[in-house]
Amino acid sequence: MNLQVLSSQFWSLCLQGVALGFIYVLISLGYTMVYGVLRLINFANSEVFMVGTFATVVAQVGILQNQTNSQPLHGFRLLYTLAFSLGFSMLICGVLGVLVELVAYRRLRALGTNRLASLISAIAVSIVLLETTRIVTFSRPQTSPRLLDKWSFGEIAGANFRIDTVAVIVSGIVIFFALDRFVTKSRLGKAIRAVSMSEENSKLMGVNLNRVVSLTFFIGGLTTGAAAFFYTTVYETTQFNVGFNLGLAAFTAAVLGGIGNLRGAFYGGLFLGVLEQFASAILGSQWKSVTVFLVLVLVLLLKPNGIFGEAVQQTRT
Amino acid sequence: MSALLEVKDLKVSYGSIMAVKGLSLTVNEGEIVTLIGSNGAGKSTTLRTISGLLKPVSGSIVFKGQEIAGKAGHDIVAMGLCQSPEGRRIFPRMSVRENLDLGAFLRNDKVAIEADRERVLDLFPRLRERYEQKGGTMSGGEQQMLAVARALMGAPKLLLLDEPSMGLAPVLVDMIFETIIKIREQGITILLIEQNASAALDVADRAYVLESGIIKMSGKASDLAKDEAVTKAYLGG
C-alpha cells in the first residue's frame, strides 16, 4: 500500500483518471442507450469495442502504408489520419451494432421471448466476435503506428496535460454533449426517449419501433467506436480480448451511474476512471480490476438503481 | 354518409383467451360513435387492434377504403387514425410541448403543425399554462387533456378515444365531453370508448353495446339511452 501518492500525485491521478473515465463514458453510452430503449443489456457491446480497436489499427496502418519511417505525423496529414480512423472506427462499430441487433435480438423480440433469451443471445454474439478475432489475428496483439508526437501543454500541480490526454477529454466532452443534445432536442432523439418511456405509446405516435431500435444500436456503436479509437490511439496496441476488461468496466460505470440514463453513464464513467487510477497507484495495478468489480458488487447490493439513479431519474434518456 | 371505418367480424385473442369474438361496427364520416360496455368487455382490445397494437386472429378493418388489419401501428397513424390511449398514457418525463411534438411525429408540414398546436391549446387552455411542465407532474385531468391534445396533433381523420373520463372529477368529465363535441365540429370523426355510458350516449350519434367480446345492441345513441336493458345494465337505472 502506497499512500504517499495521494499527496505527491493527486492531481496527476485525477487527470489520468478523467481521461480514462471518458473512454469508459463513451463505451457506457453504448450500454445505456440500448438499455434505455429495450431494457436489455447488450453484452456484445464490449466486443463491438474490441472490433473498433482493430478497425482503428486497420485504418491507421492503411493510410500510412506507404510511409516507411514511423515518425509521428504533423499538420494536415496528422489531422486527416486521425479524423479518418476515428470516422472509420465509429462507422464500423455503428454498423456492427445494428447488425448485432438484427441478427441476435430482433427475431427474439418479435417472438416476445423473455429477456433471458436475449441475454444468452448477446453472450453468444460476444463469443462469436471474440473467437473470430482471435483466429483472424492469431491471438497476437496488434500495434497501431505512432501518430502523435506526445508533447505536453504543460504541467499544473504535477498533472501533465499531454496532448493525447487533453484530446480524449475534450473529445469526450464534445461527443457526450452532442449526444445529449441530439437526444433531448432532435425529432429522432425525442422518439428514442419516447420509446424508453413506453413502447406502445410511441407506436400510437407513429414511431416505427424497429427503426428507433436500429438507430439506438447505431448511436451506441458510434460512441463505442469513438472510445475504441481513443483507446487505440493512446495505448497504441490492442488484442482480441481487449473488450473484456474495458467492456465490463464500462458496464460497471453504466450501472454505477444508473443504467438507462446518459448522465448516469457520464458520472459513472468518470468516477470509475478516477477510482481505477487511484486504486492502481495505491494498491498496485494488479488490484485495479478487483477494485472495479468490488465496486460493482457493492453498488448492486446497496444501491441497485445506481449511485446517481434517483437524482437523475428525471433526466433519463 | 360514407363509412370511414368499417370493422367486420373481428376476432382478437390474448394467448388462448378470446377477448373479442366477432365484432362488427361502422363509423361514418363526421359521426361520434361510442362503444360502451363494462370493464373487460373487450373495448380497449378492440381499439388497440384498430390502431395496430394487436394483431387480430381474423376479421377485417377497413379505414378510408383500405384494409388495415394487421398493419404496423405507424402506418395506420400515417393514414390519419390517431388514438388517445386509456389511463393517461402520456410521456411522463417530457414536457407538454414535447408530448405535443411527438403527437405530430409523422408530419413535416411545419406551418400546419404550428396552427394545430394553437388550436389544441385553445381547446385546452390549461395545457398552455402548463406548457413547459413535465407531463408526469400534472394532475390526472391535465394528463387526460394532454393525451387527447397529443392525439389531435397527428391531424387525425378519425380519433379513437379510450376512456377519456376515467377517474376524473365530475366537473372535468363535463369539460372533456364538451371538448369532444368541439373536436367533432372541427371535422374530426370520433370513436369513443366509455364506461360512463350516460355521458357517452349524450354526445354520441350512434352507439354499440359490447358484452364479453360480442356486440349485444346497436342503434341511435338517443334510442339506446332510453332502452330498458341498457338503462339497467349501464346507466344504473
Q: Which pLDDT score is estimated for A312?
A: 41
Percentage of chain B surpassing pLDDT 90? Answer: 81
Domain A5-315 annotated CATH 2.40.50: no
The count of other CB atoms within 10 Å of the CB of residue A120 is 13
The residues near A127 (Cβ < 8 Å, ≥ 6 apart) are none
pLDDT lower than 50: segments of chain A: 310-317
Q: Confidence band (pLDDT; 50, 70, 90) for B176?
A: very high
Phi/psi for A312 (5° steps) reads -100, 5
What are B204-222's pLDDT values in tens digits? Answer: 999 999 999 999 999 999 9
Predicted confidence at residue B206, as pLDDT, reads 97
Q: Name B222's bridge partners.
A: none
Size of interface A-B (CB pairs under 8 A): 67
Q: In the structure grid, which three cell numbers stand for residue A190, read together?
A: 425525442
Q: What is the distance in angstroms between the Cα of B98 and the nearest Cα belonging to chain A?
A: 8
For helices A209-235 and A10-38, angle between their N-to-C axes, nearest 10 degrees: 160
Sort B116 into a burial class: Cβ within 10 Å, 0-12 / 13-18 / 19+.
Answer: buried
Q: Residue A265: its pLDDT value, please?
A: 93
CB contact under 8 A, A193 and B94: yes
Instruction: Return the residue matching grid coordinates 453472450.
Output: A123
* B101 confidence band (pLDDT: 50, 70, 90): very high
Average pLDDT over every residue of B128-136: 96
Residue A122 to chain B, least CA–CA distance (Å): 27
Q: B81 phi and psi, to 5 degrees?
A: -120, 105
Closest Cα in chain B, distance from residue A165 (Å):
36
Q: Among B74, B91, B94, select the one facing A206 at the smallest CB separation.
A: B74
**pLDDT tens profile B141-150:** 999 999 999 9
The average pLDDT across B188-204 equals 93
What is the C-alpha separation between B121 and B215, in angstroms, rounded?
Answer: 36
Q: How many CB atoms lie within 10 A of CB A91?
A: 17
Which of A198, A203, A314 minimises the CB distance to B91? A198
Per-residue confidence (pLDDT) for residue A201, from 0 to 100: 94
Quote helix, strand, coil % in chain B, to nearest 5: 40, 30, 30
Residue of B nearest to A313 (CA): B93
Domain ranges of chain A: 5-315
All residues at 6 or more sequence positions from A220 whose CB lies less than 8 Å from its CB, including other chains: A29, A30, A31, A33, A34, A42, A45, A97
Beta strand pairing call for B3-14 and B17-28: antiparallel
Give the DSSP H or E segment for B35: strand B32-36
State the average pLDDT over residues B151-155. Answer: 97
Residue of B102, B137, B148 to mutate, interface with A, max A Cβ within 10 Å:
B102
Are B89 and A205 a contacting pair at CB < 8 A? no
CA B168 to chain A, closest CA, distance in angstroms equals: 21
> pLDDT class for B236, splitting at 50, 70, 90?
low
| pLDDT of the residue at A64 | 83
Where is pLDDT greater, at B185 or A305? Answer: B185
Task: Name which of B72, B105, B134 is nearest A205 (Cβ-Cβ).
Answer: B105
Give A197's contacts in chain B (Cβ within 8 Å): 91-94
Interface pTM, i.e. ipTM? 0.93
B225 CA to chain A: closest CA distance, Å?
32
Q: What is the pLDDT of residue A70?
A: 65
pLDDT band at B34 (very low <50, low <70, confident <90, very high): very high
Binary contact (A208, B93; C-beta < 8 A): no
